[in-house]
Structure 1
Amino acid sequence: MMIREDAGLHRAQRAFRSVLDAFARPGTVHVVDPAANSPARPVALGASLEAVVRLFVDQAVTFCVADAESDVTAAYLTGETHARRFPVREADFVVVPARADAQTAEEAVAQACRGTLVSPEKGATVLVGCARLAPADEAAGECGGEPALHVVEVRGPGVADVNRFAVDRVDWVRARDARRDEFPCGIEIVLVDPAGRVVAVPRSSRVTCPSAPAAPAAKGVR
């Protein structure tokens, strides 16, 4: 039993270091170990997304789940972490499963708390599940059957010139841009795919996606 607990602790420590590195180098791909197998884990959550969620969500914070069937996932996270479930506009952390459609993801990003000039640290962190994350150079060599990838460019603090990565979904980019947050207010975004690849986009970063087609804002997003 002690060996199993130590393995979980070491997994969490490695994941924590990877996510810290991701925030220190915005727009670069890092890797976390998926959470241990659990028959109780909802399908929507996924082992890698759960591993990242557990780094942030505990009894001291609030969260919400942006998904068509959010109750099951929220109940699981409440039972595992003892965190309190709040509406998206008030939650410290917003969890967007990979299966969430574009409208759901855009609304979650659009409505997440931006913090205030007095307390910018109250800005939410949005944890977004993706089907696939990769270094930018892999986008050109993708194989048939894989999700289509879009190259995202990140600039700002922690980036010498520009960092690029590839991701299958860019709904979060559109919604983040539409928010027009002014630093130091804003939201943090962490992207996670099933393989455990992670990319962080701090509130201070500037993000563009030249390879993605323009799309209208999701209904209800303001």
Structure 2
Amino acid sequence: MTTATDTYTGAFTDPVLDAQSAFRVVMDCMARPGTIGWIEGEAKGPKPLGRAQSAIALTLADQDTPVYLSPALVKAGAAAWLGFQTGAAVTDIKSEARFAFVEAGAPFPALASFARGSQEYPDRSTTVIVELDKLEGGEELTLIGPGIRDRIAISPKGLPSLFPALWAENHALYPRGVDLILTAGRACLCLPRSARILAATPVTNGEKA
């Protein structure tokens, strides 16, 4: 569990420049789905909140953005840290959250439980930030969509086997749906709702696709 000292430490060294830098990385990765970005700076929230997750929280959360934290993050004191550093209120109602944070090793969150916006206001949805062990070395997935030239392969390590189906359901709601940011340490990879995962080519006649 976090201490009082942990609540007051772990912020950006230079709040303006570090926040601007983190914002540029996230926006660039969101504009180019599947691209891995690297977030600098010394942001460090209570473990198991990751380094990139901490920087994203400090950059995007404020008093007008309710935040959902997984139970382990709440237990670790991340709610107190986030409240002190950003003024953001923590909610345990997923559909009310503008941002949601889940630590590495936790069950992958049910995307349908978060706010997915409306046809009139698709921006009123949740951005879900999930920490993984690595952003490479896992099962390869192929993305297509806006911001991707032809297609791009990603291989985050730690996604559930059902992730392609979960993402297909989310993508089918476009322009509604959640946006997903995968992080691992200081690295991040964005999957906006507009991105689509191509289905694997079926194997026929005993041959590899």
Percent of aligned pairs with the same residue?
27
Q: SS of the residue aligned with 2:82?
A: helix
Of 17-26 and 169-178, the range deviating more from structure 2? 169-178
Q: Counterpart of 1:161 in structure 2: which amino acid?
A: D
- Of 10, 23, 28 in structure 2, the residue corresponding to residue 21 of structure 1 is 28
- Of 170, 179, 191 in structure 1, the residue corresponding to residue 159 of structure 2 is 170
Q: Counterpart of 2:109 in structure 1: which amino acid?
A: E
Query: Quick check: 1:53 aligned with 2:57?
Result: yes
The residue aligned with 1:199 is 189
Of 5-14 and 155-164, the range deviating more from structure 2? 5-14
- Of 82, 97, 110 in structure 2, the residue corresponding to residue 91 of structure 1 is 97
Would you say the 8 A contact 1:133–1:168 is kept in 2? yes
Would you say the 8 A contact 1:44–1:99 is kept in 2? no
Q: Counterpart of 1:85 in structure 2: which amino acid?
A: V
Would you say the 8 A contact 1:8–1:36 is kept in 2? no
Q: TM-score under structure 1 normalisation?
A: 0.75
Query: Quick check: 1:76 aligned with 2:74?
Result: no
Query: Quick check: 1:30 aligned with 2:37?
Result: yes
Q: SS of the residue aligned with 2:53?
A: helix
Query: Quick check: 1:185 aligned with 2:176?
Result: yes
Compared CA separation, residues 74 and 19, structure 1 to 2 (3 A):
same
Gaps of 5+ in 1: 140-148, 212-222
The residue aligned with 1:119 is 121
Compared CA separation, residues 209 and 85, structure 1 to 2 (3 A):
farther
Deviation of the 1:155 alpha carbon: 0.8
Deviation of the 1:52 alpha carbon: 1.6
Distance in 1, matches of 2:109 and 2:196, equals 18
The residue aligned with 2:207 is none
Distance in 2, matches of 1:58 and 1:166, equals 32
Gaps of 5+ in 2: 1-10, 202-209
Deviation of the 1:183 alpha carbon: 1.2
Q: SS of the residue aligned with 2:96?
A: coil
The residue aligned with 2:204 is none
Query: Quick check: 1:158 aligned with 2:147?
Result: yes
Would you say the 8 A contact 1:48–1:192 is kept in 2? yes
Q: TM-score under structure 2 normalisation?
A: 0.79
Compared CA separation, residues 60 and 157, structure 1 to 2 (3 A):
same
Superposition RMSD in Å: 2.4
- Of 43, 48, 51 in structure 2, the residue corresponding to residue 44 of structure 1 is 48
Q: Counterpart of 1:91 in structure 2: which amino acid?
A: A
Q: SS of the residue aligned with 2:155?
A: strand
Q: SS of the residue aligned with 1:84?
A: coil
Deviation of the 1:179 alpha carbon: 4.3
Distance in 2, matches of 1:5 and 1:89, equals 29
Compared CA separation, residues 29 and 209, structure 1 to 2 (3 A):
farther
Would you say the 8 A contact 1:34–1:50 is kept in 2? no
